[in-house]
Amino acid sequence: MDPAHNLDSTRPDSILIVDFGSQVTQLIARRVREAGVYSEIAPFSMAEEAFHRMKPKGIILSGSPAGVPEEGSPRAPELLFEAGIPILGICYGQQVMTHQLGGEVRPGHETGEGGEFGRAFLTVTKDCALFDGLWKEGERHQVWMSHGDKVTRFADGFEIVATSDGAPFAVIADEKRQFYGTQFHPEVVHTPDGGKLIANFAHKVCGLKGDWTMAAYRETKVAEIREQVGDKRVICGLSGGVDSSVAAILIHEAIGDQLTCVFVDHGLLRLDERQQVETMFRDHYNIPLVVVDAEERFMAGLDGVSDPEKKRKFIGGEFINVFEEEAAKIGGADFLAQGTLYPDVIESVSFTGGPSVTIKSHHNVGGLPERMNMELVEPLRELFKDEVRDLGRELGLPDIFVGRHPFPGPGLAIRIPGEVDKSRCDILRKADAIYLDEIRKAGLYDAIWQAFAVLLPVKTVGVMGDHRTYDSVCGLRAVTSTDGMTADVYPFDAAFLTQVATRIVNEVQGINRVVYDYTSKPPGTIEWE
């Protein structure tokens, strides 16, 4: 069968999300998926092409770090407003729609009111299709605002349907054209009814059925992979984590033996991780696996490097070197597959190449050297971690595997602030294994998103058996999260932490003090580097 034809037949009714560079655009796609509707994100500069290709039944305009009154700030293609299909503009999306349809947006400082950031309450002033079955006239509801500029005059045809103290135009609607604009962000969890509002837009305004599932995602991705790869060869970087495993199994389903998986032991793995991965893939799956022992070259390259970004860049680059060598050995591969997830992408560069700010260069993305001569296959790029787990279950992976905590590509290197060497990795491996062992024994593993030990570049004085010690400090981290984008500290009880600290200091030579990290994300990040 013609693969392009196959792809079209699996592409369901959809919503086009136009990205203006907001940090949370992908959350819009996620809410739309949760409503059982397929969506794609296109940067504003490519939205016209995406519109023609997808023939969507609705459009959502995202937020942006830019301001509509700023010169050169992005605009939506005019044809979207003339297409006769529903539009929901969120924050910047509301403002840019207002501006492009003839209304007025002014910078917050000019209105003399400043911006509005964080939790806010709005009052519903009129019923509208977006609120159907959810919010009624006169009710007050919590929402999440994050804006400086304001709509000061709306475009013809619009009216106010909800208002807040800081945003008189909290929600505007043109029911005739089915255009809606919210000043707040319905896509974030801090707007408790936000997901339902987006579902209302998808189901009640756009008229979509909501019958799209992870099984459909699997089918669509398998068809896309076949189309992208054709009869070429793919090499997949397997880390043993959930993401790269799900990616490998999905790609294997699509192209079978055209896929070769490479597992790089860079010496930055957790205790026994390499054996676990080998057993898992050789014994349980019939997927070709090459294991590369690259510890020495990674350690040599990390020697003397203490800057986190330099570590990440080196590890990312060296990974690709190893892949290229392995690809050459198997007779060449045209594609490199990675289990890159959405949060890896958004914090490195904007998902769509737009202007969101770099927090860290996650190694699957920012570390790729320009010279890399393989194309990327990244079938999980639009998903959040919990969605990847759903997809893993859909693909038949056992729960115990699917439930594993995330482990970053640069491995223990970013859990050893400062210089990394083999002996420090060995110390950390032991401490980390004890910590996770205690967590499992306490039955807490599944309640925690991610737990790990960190080895600090600080030595402190201790006393053991009448002797003075002068050894390293070990930090413990455990967080809860739904997607890794934000995280809360896991509240262990003191007895548990005491037990872990005692075991680590007693059993791991080189550590004489243990501390617990009490920082949420934001303002911290989950990893220490």
Residues of this chain that interact with ligand XMP (CB under 6 A) are 312, 343-344, 347, 360, 362-364, 406, 408-410, 450, 484, 521, 525-527
Dihedral angle of Cα 354, 355, 358, 362, to the nearest 10 degrees: 0
Could you give the 3-state DSSP secondary structure of residue 454?
A: strand
**Which residue's CB is nearer to ligand XMP, number 347 or number 378?**
347
Task: Give the tokens for residue 500.
Answer: 């872990």
**Strands 87-90 and 179-182, sheet pairing:** parallel
**Which residue's CB is nearer to ligand XMP, number 360 or number 429?**
360
Of the candidates 99, 141, 147, 185, the residue annotated as catalytic is 185
Q: For the chain, how big is the Rg over CA atoms in Å?
A: 25
The CB-of-526 to ligand XMP minimum distance in angstroms stands at 3
Do 161 and 131 touch, CB atoms closer than 8 A?
Answer: yes
**Which residue's CB is nearer to ligand XMP, number 220 or number 520?**
520
Annotated binding residue 244: yes
Task: Give the tokens for residue 168.
Answer: 């008189």
Annotated binding residue 237: no
3-state secondary structure 21-54: CCCCHHHHHHHHHHCCCEEEEEEHHHHHHHHHHH
Find how far residue 192's CA is from the centre of its chain: 20
The CB-of-355 to ligand XMP minimum distance in angstroms stands at 19
Annotated binding residue 239: yes
Of the candidates 116, 128, 141, 187, the residue annotated as catalytic is 187
**Which residue's CB is nearer to ligand XMP, number 64 or number 481?**
481
| 8-state DSSP, 430 | H
Annotated catalytic residue 91: yes
Query: Helices (H), strands (E): how many in the chain?
Result: 16, 20
Question: For the chain, what is the largest distance between any 2 Cα atoms, rounded to a whole number of angstroms?
Answer: 82
User: Residue 135 — φ and ψ, nearest 5°?
Assistant: -120, 140
The CB-of-511 to ligand XMP minimum distance in angstroms stands at 22
The CB-of-364 to ligand XMP minimum distance in angstroms stands at 5
- CA-CA distance, 513 to 490, in Å (whole number)? 20
Annotated catalytic residue 128: no
**Which residue's CB is nearer to ligand XMP, number 212 or number 342?**
342
Name the residue among 105, 118, 220 with its Cα closest to residue 166: 118
The CB-of-525 to ligand XMP minimum distance in angstroms stands at 3
Annotated binding residue 230: no
- CA-CA distance, 445 to 439, in Å (whole number)? 6
Do 259 and 225 touch, CB atoms closer than 8 A?
Answer: no
Do 339 and 389 touch, CB atoms closer than 8 A?
Answer: no
- CA-CA distance, 366 to 381, in Å (whole number)? 14
Question: Which residues have CB under 8 Å from 477's CB, separation 6+?
Answer: 450, 451, 452, 453, 454, 517, 526, 528
Annotated binding residue 39: no
The CB-of-347 to ligand XMP minimum distance in angstroms stands at 6
Strand order in the sheet with 58-61: 38-43, 14-19, 58-61, 87-90, 179-182, 171-174, 159-164, 116-124, 140-147
- CA-CA distance, 481 to 448, in Å (whole number)? 8
The CB-of-359 to ligand XMP minimum distance in angstroms stands at 6
**Which residue's CB is nearer to ligand XMP, number 276 or number 525?**
525
**Which residue's CB is nearer to ligand XMP, number 354 or number 409?**
409
**Which residue's CB is nearer to ligand XMP, number 86 or number 316?**
316
| 8-state DSSP, 480 | E
Annotated catalytic residue 474: no
Annotated binding site for ATP: 239-245
Give the catalytic positions in this structure: 91, 185, 187
List binding-site positions.
239-245
